[in-house]
Structure 1
Amino acid sequence: MSPAASSTRSDSRQQPAAAAATSWSRRWIRTLESLGATYPNTRLPRGRSLARNGAVQGLVVRPGEVMARVEQAKGAWPVTLTLPVFTDDQWAHGLRFLAGQLQHTASLLEGRMPENVDETLGRAELAAFPRRGELSSRCDCRDTGDPCVHGAAVHYAFAEALEDNPFLLLALRGRSREELLAQLHAARNDGALPERAGRTGVPAAELPSGEAFFAVGDLTAVPLHPQRPTDPAARLRRLGPPPGCTVADAERLAAVVESAAAWAWGLEQGG
């Protein structure tokens, strides 16, 4: 499906929007406030008040656009925020960097957005959050500011929506969650992962075992709370076969992981 064909309606914004209090909200608002004179700060507090009072209705996110309706006593104002989408080539480049980070891939495939995903995209010269000159808004009111107070309200409502679903940020850049995960899985399976600059191996014989591998203090004093994993190979299966492995190879590896987990749990139980 073409990215332009997808759209996402945020989870209900019918309730008054709370203050932007957690990471994704803070980062969106901080980006908005740091973009300079294009965004006069005098409108932001008024927009925040509108969002808090539930004036923003029908928030919809699709590639390149956030659309909503801001309702006031004098009428309703349709607002559109715009942000350039990444091209297919840019997405392919960025996905290779994301796929090269095993922790990122596992988190994304489990439906969690890594906090430092923008840093990883930055290595591909991309930015999930807006850069200077990229973000603009449209509204039919007479205010010539960008954003006007209604646009500012939609910014705050979108920031609140990001807390419920941070994948909306990447949907705005052109990839829905479903498309992103499918393409990320494909990027890992085709083996086209970026080389890590400057990474060199160290022969095991050269590792300073006498100095590097030691512990200070009594390790038995460290409190442990082990729990038996319900499906120890779940993450491996979610990631798909490692580069160079067939599906059958991956299943054999999963069986080894399951056996190792069962053996480790037996040891912990004194078996």
Structure 2
Amino acid sequence: MPEFGATWWGRRWRRALESLGATYPNPRLPQGRSLARKGAVEDMAVVAGAVTARVRDGSRTYDVGLHLPVFGDDEWAAAVTALAGRLRHAVALLEGRLPEDVDDTLGEAGVPLFPRRDELGSTCGCSGRAHPCAHATAVHYVLATALDDDPFLLTRLRGRDRDHLLAELRAERSGEPPAPAVSDGLPVVEMEAGSLFTAGAPLASIAAHPREPGGRMPEALRLLGPAQGIDADDWRHLVAVARRAADRAWSLAGDDGGAAHDGPPR
């Protein structure tokens, strides 16, 4: 894996972690980097106020959470006004980039994106007493790489996803009210299990190609991401239930009396 943080904002996130090195023993930084490079961080998800993931360390797997305060609507309104007032900031964001002095602009408005000292917390199921532990540190490093690809994970962590923020920014620039944001998911309370079984053809005509889940997050949840309105703990529990269901489905697919498939499980 290349060095964590290829963009300036990815490096800035990494430095926010490494600047804490004086407050706890340094060995946890290389331990976390080693875990991250080995691919030990799995099922990472970013929601408002939290990053959740599972980290494999030897024979154990730990649930890890990173926590950052979320800005309210009034704070985000101030942030949007500050960003819209600088044309190059607005242009960069609409192009999917963060301008290098964006945090200075937002800091003046009282809403800095990057964590300040004592803002960033972590939880882990390991027995370590220091925060962040090596497992949480590994998630920090992997998040730095994820931010390279999508800087709006940082705004989501602070309480505004990409579509919502850009709609507000366009509205502020144009003086028009923002268009309703297009939802990228349904609130859990609106999901109907019965609709999952609606098919346009007999179910027997559907070729099944089961694949061993191996403890991974089910593909549908990975692609859809956290549903709107679900908090980090509920999302983690949902992923755990889905993972157990996938493991059970795999075991049934391998039984003579289980689900039919057109060849050995792949």
Residue 62 (structure 1) aligned with residue 38 (structure 2): no
Residue 84 (structure 1) aligned with residue 69 (structure 2): yes
Query: What residue in structure 1 maps to residue 31 of structure 2?
Result: 46
Shift in Å at residue 57 of structure 1? 0.7
Answer yes or no: is the 8 Å Cα contact 2:5–2:14 preserved in 1.
no
**Residue-pair matches, total:** 176
| Counterpart pick for 2:80 among 84, 92, 95 | 95
Distance (Å, rounded) in 2 between the aligned partners of 1:39 and 1:85: 26
Distance (Å, rounded) in 1 between the aligned partners of 2:5 and 2:33: 13
AA aligned opposite 1:151: A
Answer yes or no: is the 8 Å Cα contact 1:43–1:148 preserved in 2.
yes
Go from structure 1 to structure 2 and tell me whether the alpha carbon gap of 1:40 and 1:92 turns closer, same or farther (over 3 Å shift). farther
| Counterpart pick for 2:137 among 117, 140, 152 | 152
Shift in Å at residue 105 of structure 1? 0.9
Answer yes or no: is the 8 Å Cα contact 2:49–2:68 preserved in 1.
yes
Residues 175-184 or 115-124, more deviating: 115-124
Answer yes or no: is the 8 Å Cα contact 1:83–1:130 preserved in 2.
yes
CA displacement 1:99-146 (0-9 Å, x = unmatched): 001111122122222222112111202211100110010001001110
Shift in Å at residue 36 of structure 1? 5.6
| Counterpart pick for 1:122 among 103, 107, 123 | 107
TM-score (norm. length: structure 2): 0.63
Go from structure 1 to structure 2 and tell me whether the alpha carbon gap of 1:21 and 1:168 turns closer, same or farther (over 3 Å shift). closer
| Counterpart pick for 1:32 among 17, 21, 28 | 17
Shift in Å at residue 21 of structure 1? 4.6
AA aligned opposite 1:45: P
Q: List runs of 5+ in structure 2 lacking aligned partners.
A: 178-266
Q: Larger radius of gyration, structure 1 or 2?
A: 1
Shift in Å at residue 18 of structure 1? 2.9
Shift in Å at residue 39 of structure 1? 4.4
Query: What residue in structure 1 maps to residue 155 of structure 2?
Result: 170
Go from structure 1 to structure 2 and tell me whether the alpha carbon gap of 1:191 and 1:102 turns closer, same or farther (over 3 Å shift). farther
TM-score (norm. length: structure 1): 0.61
Q: List runs of 5+ in structure 1 lacking aligned partners.
A: 1-16, 193-271
Answer yes or no: is the 8 Å Cα contact 1:33–1:41 preserved in 2.
no
Go from structure 1 to structure 2 and tell me whether the alpha carbon gap of 1:107 and 1:25 turns closer, same or farther (over 3 Å shift). closer
CA RMSD of aligned residues (A): 1.8
Aligned-residue sequence identity (percent) comes to 55
Distance (Å, rounded) in 1 between the aligned partners of 2:49 and 2:173: 27
Residue 189 (structure 1) aligned with residue 139 (structure 2): no
Distance (Å, rounded) in 2 between the aligned partners of 1:54 and 1:74: 14
Query: What residue in structure 1 maps to residue 250 of structure 2?
Result: none
SS for the counterpart of 1:141 is coil
